[in-house]
Amino acid sequence: MTIAVARARPDTAAATSSHQTPKQNQILAALPAEEYARLLPNLELIQLPLGTVLYEPGVEMDYVYFPITGIISLLYVMQNGASAEIALTGNEGLVGVSLFMGGESTTSRAVAQNAGASYRLKADILRREFALGGPLQYLALRYTQALMTQMTQTAACNRHHTLDQQLCRWLLLSLDRLPVDELTMTQ
């Protein structure tokens, strides 16, 4: 099923071009030139097909991911295998918050909800950069605050809104994170 939403986006042509750059991620784009130049040789572009699992609960995390296209879904997985989406991340953020918050693993699963590209950075390099206390640390912490806010809003929405309202919220969150106004979904 494909859902298309008509909405004017001045940046759509640039975002859908075949040229992919780390600066398509808003955190990496906001770094000062010196920090960006220091990270650049260590950033690896990867493609994330739909359904790619980046992390599993309790498994040591080797990378932090900076999506540039597509969406990464964070899921809380129950003991019986059922899961609930707790947050979405696109080019506005990063996936792997636990790595700079003192953990080696996470309690959630990270999976590509929409296929796309991402840059990844080895965990040890992220920790080294984070320890310097510069702009990357500041941006990562600000993003973490925004992610926590999104998780809080998701919990409240899931408890107090109708299914139609929940779907609308999810569609808007998803579309805000894509470079085009088309969302491809499977049943």
CB 63 within 8 A of CB 106: no
Determine the pLDDT at residue 113: 87
Interval 28-74: pLDDT, tens = 999 999 999 999 999 999 999 999 999 988 899 999 999 999 889 88
Helix (H, G, I), strand (E, B) or coil at 8: coil
Whole-model pTM? Answer: 0.77
What pLDDT is recorded for position 142?
Answer: 92
What is the SS3 string spanning 11-75?
Answer: CHHHHCCCCCCHHHCHHHHCCCHHHHHHHHHHCEEEEECCCCEEECCCCCCCEEEEECCCEEEEE
Per-residue pLDDT at 124: 93
Find the mean pLDDT for residues 110-132. Answer: 92
Q: Which residue has the tokens 């220091």?
A: 38
Task: Give residue 167's pLDDT band: very low, low, confident or very high (50, 70, 90).
Answer: low
Average pLDDT over residues 91-120: 87
**What pLDDT is attached to residue 82?**
81
pLDDT band at 163 (very low <50, low <70, confident <90, very high): confident
87 touches 174 (CB < 8 A): no
